[in-house]
Every structure is written in structure tokens, then in C-alpha cells.
Structure 1
Amino acid sequence: MIIDSHQHFWIYNSKKHAWIDDEMASIRKDFLPEDLKPIYQQNEVDACVAVQADQTNAETNFLLQLANENDFIKGIVGWIDLRSRKIVAELESYQAQPKIKGWRHIVQGEADVNFLLRSDFLNGIAQLEQFEYTYDILVYPHQLGAVLEFVKKFPNQRFVIDHLAKPYIKDGFFDGWAILMKEIAKNENVYCKLSGMITEANYTNWSEKQLKPYIDLVMEAFDAKRVMYGSDWPVCLVAGTYTQVIDIVRNYIGYLDECDQQRIMGKNAQEFYNL
């Protein structure tokens, strides 16, 4: 089974989706399950995890509705205010919704480089384990120092780093990102998604050769047992097609044995998110 561990749906709104800048104008429109399903059929993808793109409870409920209406959406990563003083009650309110697998905060958009280490946020994360929820880490490389301290505080919490922590592929920066990713990977409860790479490179002239050192590092640090494929559709469309995105990973992992290939393309996501 092939599972896309990271994609989005939205009904485009210029205020809500203000992060879609002029360079990304081609995705200023609606993207819904009926748009994605034929793409999955063409690329032999069986299922997916839909991830939040807006920080509201309405976003979580929107994704939940889509998941309940479309069986190929096997789970969602929603948004909840993890800083809330009522976080336990709010998490409890979602326990009757089995398709909610975890949560994400758009930490990359926070000005405070140590946002993850704020006491109120840490309190929210500390509540996730009892409900068996995962947490997706969305950061830029300059926030990885905080990520290292953050994951050490919760050795039993399942974490996954989105988009390789968005390395500056376009500029060729590597070493600082690589050092911290290796240290973070020593924590065996942390996984990493092979996703969002072509949009961190040059939209128009990226190459698989350019991406290879970054994938090499992730594979070396996390191993096939803690890496999962994700497309980042429809964001990926600003730099390429869905087929190009999935082929990057398929081409790279061709040297691995069949078991490891299956892990990366689906089994790890299935186990991590309890799909």
C-alpha cells in the first residue's frame, strides 16, 4: 500500500491563505478530494493523511468532514490551540473522531525562535501521549536548535519532522541543517517526511541530483524505519507535477530492499499515524 503522508485541502480564501504569495499564484484556487483522487489513481497511491493549512478549529472540522466523506483519506493532522489552559478538555472532545491522528502548529511562522520551548506550548504537548496523538514539527532550519531540546523533553511522544525541516536547497546551504538533523534523529521517537523538497529548491530548475545530498542525510540519520513519503500536494504544484514528486522518492529508494521501500512508501505512515 502506498500512503501519501502529507497533503492539503482548502477552499481558497485570500486572507486565510495569505501565505500563498505571487510566486505561488497558480495554487490560488480550491483543492478538494475530487481533484486529488484521479491523481492518486494515475500514480498508484492508495491513501493519504490530510494536514492542516490554517490555524483554526474550523480547519480541523473541515478536514474531518472531508475524511469522513472520502475513504481514501485515512487520517488527518488537525490544529488545536496547544497553549490553551483547557487543552485536556479540548483534546477529549475529539476522542470520538478516530480519523484525527495528530496535531500541528505552524511554528515556522512564529517570530520567536524558541516558540516550541514556551511553557504553555510544552504543557499542551505533554497531554498528547495519553490520547495517543502524534505531533508534526513544521520549522525552518534556524529553529532546529529548539527542536532538539523540544524532542528530548518527550521521549515517548511520536514526532515527525515535515519537509526535512525545509533546508535552504535553493541557496545550497547544508552543513548547519545537517548537524542538527543528525542530533535530532538520535531520538528514536522522531520520524522525518521526505516531502516539500522541490519548493525549497528553485521552482523552475531543480534537479534530483540537487536534492540527493539532503535525502542522503535524512536516510543516513533516520534510516528507512523512520522515513515516510509525502507529496505536499497541492503546494508542490508550483514547482512540478505530482508524478515528478513521487518519482523523486521512488527513484531514490530503488536501491533498497523491497521491505524498506514498502516502509518508506506506506508502512511507516500507517504505523506512525495508526491508520
Structure 2
Amino acid sequence: MLKIDSHQHFWIFDPVRDSWIDDQMLAIKRDFSPVDLLPVLQQHGIDGCVSVQASQTNDETMFLLDHAAANPFVKGVVGWVNLQADDLEDQLLQYKSYDKLKGFRHVLQSEPDDEYMLQPAFQKGIATLGKHGYTYDILIFPQHLPFANQLVGNFPNQRFVVDHLAKPHIKDKKLNDWQKDIEVLAKHENVSCKISGMLTEADWANWKVDDFTPYLDIIFNAFGAGRVMFGSDWPVCLLADGYEGTMRVTQSYTSKLSVTEQEQFWGGNAISFYNL
């Protein structure tokens, strides 16, 4: 069974650019590179990973592509590009020489306007991604889900994946609005979901494996085993028991799945979605 971590990050810590990493996050307030990740993946039997952007610059995309070129276990890159740029098409054509560049992401959760993704210029950018065969990672909070539903409905042939289950309020054990909206979104067959980033949406120091079961039940029932994929959100997961805790939660839940469903979840779906 091939296992792929569909969501992890590398960075050289910058206190200005990375101001979201505050003093409560000392565990990740440093540099993280492939040399740090490889032994972790090997320890847990993970065969490869997808590196996802953490800052919104073209330099970030090249930084990740350089790491991918030097490290065979980095199977794909989700970079950043200004989707509203007048020369977006030219930029994407220049990126075509990088086989490991699979898609792009914008940090929608940080935009002041919850409807940012519905701006005409942004949607034009999504259309251009689709034209060139790139995927799009949707990074949002629960309040953005209705707008994400409109976005994905406008592009039925574009491959989308929701990061971190759209960050439900696991610490507060809230389900209702998130459940309703994520189930609507999941009706779009062109949308997948990453089982990632859950631990940091729970109580970092006091979470229990059972805390995640209601959310995982909803996601697996809504998307089915063919549209969910494992992701660690390393190194952010270090804030809440790290890779070990992430694996403990996911292995506990997926152990009840069939062998075929486990193969899809742990690697097959990510390989298919990102064309790894």
C-alpha cells in the first residue's frame, strides 16, 4: 500500500512574513526543511509527500520546487500564483517545465472579504488553472463554505480539494452549520477533501481520539472513500502531538475501512488527484 502525505510545509522562518506563528507556537517558530521531514516519513511508513505553499509569493513556489527537485520523496508541489494577474497565463506556461508543480492555493481564510473567491478576476484565474490542468486547494473556515459551494459549482471540470476539512470547530464540538454546508459542497463530484489539520482545530493539549470521530464520519459519508486523502499538516501538527498523534487518529478511524478503501485514503486518491 503506497502512502502519501498530501499536505505538508517547508519554510525558513521569517518573523515578519510568518507573524501568524505567535509565542504560543514556539514548537514551529523555526526553519523546517526536507532533512527534518524525511526521517519522520520513514518512521511512519509514508512513501512520499506533497508540499503546499505557506506564503503568498512566486518565490515561495520556486522554493518548494527547488526542494522537490533535490528530494525524490517530495512527489508534488502546490504553489502560489496571483490568480488575478494580467499575465497569469504566461506565468503558467513558464511553470509547465516543472513536472512536480501540480496545483496552486491562495490563503482565502485570511482575506477580509469572505466572498473574495467569487470576485470575477479570481474566478477568471480559476478558469485559467483549469485550462492548464492545475488543481486548486481550498483553504477556508466554515463560514466560507457557502461561497466555496458557489465557486466549485461554476467550474465543474476543475479539480478542487478542501484543506483541513474546512477547519470545523472541533475544540468547541460544533457540528451543525459546518455539517450542513460541507455535505452540500461534497455533492460536487469534482471536489475532494483532505483529512488533515484536525489536531490543531481541537484542544491542543487535551484532545482525545474520540473527539474526531463525528467529523470523520460526516466527511467519509459525504465524500465517500474515493474523494478523501491523508495529510499531516506537518510541521503545524507539532503544536498538538505532531505526526504521531495525527497517525494515531487516522489509523484508528481508517482501520475499519476495507483494504481497497484504505489504499485509496492513504495514497491512491492523492496520486490520482495530483497526478503524482
* TMscore range, shorter length: over 0.9
CA distance in 1, matches of 2:38, 2:113: 38
> 1:55-134, aligned counterparts within 5 Å?
55-134=56-135
Q: Give the structure-1-normalised TM-score.
A: 0.99
Partner residue of 1:221?
Answer: 222
| Deviations 1:134-181, CA, capped at 9 Å, x for gaps | 000000001111001010000000000000000111112110000000
Partner residue of 2:188?
Answer: 187
Q: Is the 8 A contact 2:95 2:101 kept in 1?
A: yes
CA distance in 1, matches of 2:248, 2:159: 27
Partner residue of 1:42?
Answer: 43
CA distance in 2, matches of 1:22, 1:223: 39
SS in 2 for 1:76: strand
SS in 1 for 2:199: coil
Runs (5+) with no aligned partner, structure 2: none
Q: CA deviation at 1:247?
A: 2.1
CA distance in 2, matches of 1:241, 1:121: 34
> 1:155-174, aligned counterparts within 5 Å?
155-174=156-175
| Deviations 1:167-202, CA, capped at 9 Å, x for gaps | 111112110000000000000000000000010011
Q: CA deviation at 1:24?
A: 1.1
Q: Give the structure-2-normalised TM-score.
A: 0.99
CA distance in 1, matches of 2:174, 2:112: 21
The one-letter code sitting in structure 1 at the alignment partner of 2:94 is S
RMSD, aligned CA: 0.6
Give runs of ≥4 in structure 1 deviating > 4 Å. none
CA distance in 2, matches of 1:171, 1:255: 26
CA distance in 2, matches of 1:238, 1:210: 17
| Residue-pair matches, total | 275
Partner residue of 1:10?
Answer: 11
Partner residue of 2:251?
Answer: 250
The one-letter code sitting in structure 1 at the alignment partner of 2:160 is F
CA distance in 2, matches of 1:201, 1:94: 37
Of all paired residues, the percent bearing the same amino acid is 48
Q: CA deviation at 1:25?
A: 1.8
Runs (5+) with no aligned partner, structure 1: none
Q: CA deviation at 1:129?
A: 1.5
SS in 1 for 2:201: coil
CA distance in 1, matches of 2:211, 2:23: 25
Q: CA deviation at 1:206?
A: 0.8
